Chain A
Amino acid sequence: MHILMNILFVVAAPFVGGLLTGIDRVITARMQGRQGPPVLQPFYDVMKLVQKESIEVNSMHRFFVYISLVFAIFTTSILLSGGDILLAVFALTLGSIFFVLGGYASNSPYSIIGSERELLQIMAYEPMVLLACVGLYYADNSFFVKEIINNSIPAIVYLPGVFLGLVFIITFKLRKSPFDLSMSHHGHQEIVKGITTEYSGRDLAVIEVTHWFEVIITLTLVFVFFATETPISKVFALVACALVYFLEIIIDNAFARLKWQQAFTSAWIITGTMGIINLLILSFFR
């Protein structure tokens, strides 16, 4: 039964992620005074890409994105089955690293620049993600998601600073402006498309599906902060996820892309102030 539920969650995750991406595109278009594509547009895009020819640059190049997808699925299944959040975070990072390797493998200057930027981004957001895990352990004495979301007091009460820091770095993970320097959704030039420059057809579809999983993973991290043992809190947590996602869309539309130096320093400053001060205060009281 448990395993069946887990499989169901993992199968549903990309559909929910794709739907969220579609809603994102419609809301973005409305904010710009446009009509926007249909909500199911991301699915049309992926189905089209699957039907198209995949140009093979070299044999390794394609392999890396598939591995990256496997790790994204693995991370999602750990999180949604209530597993170890630390393991999930590291598996996600490993997936990102494989994606970066895919960028390097093609030997195209654009994707190599994209890979370097992606590495800088990983460096920028990773400390905050780890701090969030440590904070959740401090608050709930467990690294297991199923125990964290079954406490009497939601983690956000102990960790408001960590949560704000996490919302800040989620922008990197969702690939939103101002932190979409390695691979943007609104790429009109090769350099903005970064790592994906050399991918086409089915491989590009895999990258897109991996991104849908990442949307679900990041929103699960938000969910964990709000959920408690009472069922009504889970509803609140879902509302919080929706609000955070909407906030990210507004941020995406309101800011221009930053240089990597600014993205990097701002992320670390937020991590240093929000995250570390929050944890210091918490350790003082506990």
Chain B
Amino acid sequence: MKFVTKSPWILHYDGTSCNGCDIEVLACLTPLYDVERFGIINTGNPKHADILLITGSVNEQNIPVVKQLYDQMAEPKVVVAIGICATSGGIFAECYNVVGGVDKVLPVDVYVPGCAARPESIIDGVVKALDILAQKQKYARKKTGKNRINQETAKI
């Protein structure tokens, strides 16, 4: 039984976003969308989280922050890039300080398009991430070495 798919806890990090996507992420928690139906909780704590939601692109200043958040999360974990900014830099791609999408720094598992990404597509992205989380869990349970897990998940 993959309990991780029944209780995915998310951590939401706001990179160089315009706050549009952030508001949509928070909208998922409201009574209208109510992601707690799926057992999803917004934890605000990397050590409790399974899914890292990143809105906005990365820049020189937040690269260490993003990396540290990712490192502090317990295996298995997935990264979901929300919005076009997090995917490629979006309309801010040309800015002098913007490095690019989140995949410049972290292994992104799911890209959610949109500017701003709609709550429906964010929920869709998180549900896609659950499948990947379940597969990572399977490899993690095989008691393989950490490198092995990364290699296997890289293929997925």
Residues of A that sit less than 8 Å from B by CB:
25, 29, 32-38, 41, 44-45, 47-48, 51-55, 187-190, 192-193, 196-201, 204
Contacts and interface: CB of A to CB of B under 8 A. Distances in A.
B142 interface: no
Interface string B95-132: 00000000000000000000000000000000000000
Given A187-B43, A197-B45, A200-B48, 17 more contacts: A34-B34, A35-B36, A38-B39, A41-B7, A41-B39, A44-B7, A47-B1, A48-B3, A48-B6, A51-B4, A52-B50, A53-B74, A53-B76, A188-B44, A189-B45, A200-B47, A204-B48
A199 B37 CA distance: 25
A52 B76 contact: yes
A34 B36 contact: yes
Q: A-B pairs with the 5 shortest C-beta distances? A: A48-B3, A47-B3, A44-B6, A200-B47, A53-B74
14 contacts: A29-B34, A29-B36, A32-B31, A34-B37, A37-B37, A48-B7, A52-B76, A53-B75, A55-B72, A193-B44, A193-B48, A196-B48, A201-B74, A204-B48
A32 B7 CA distance: 20
A51 B36 CA distance: 21
A187 B11 CA distance: 12
Contacts of B140: 53
Contacts of A35: 34, 36-37
Interface string B1-15: 101101100000000
Given A36-B37, A51-B137, A52-B74, A197 B47 contact: yes
A238 B45 CA distance: 37
Contact of A45 (B1, B7, B42): B7
B155 interface: no
A219 to B, nearest CB: 25
Contact of A52 (B42, B44, B75): B75
Given A34-B34, A44-B6, A188 B42 contact: yes
A126 B111 CA distance: 51
B75 A199 contact: no
B97 to A, nearest CB: 27
A190 to B, nearest CB: 5
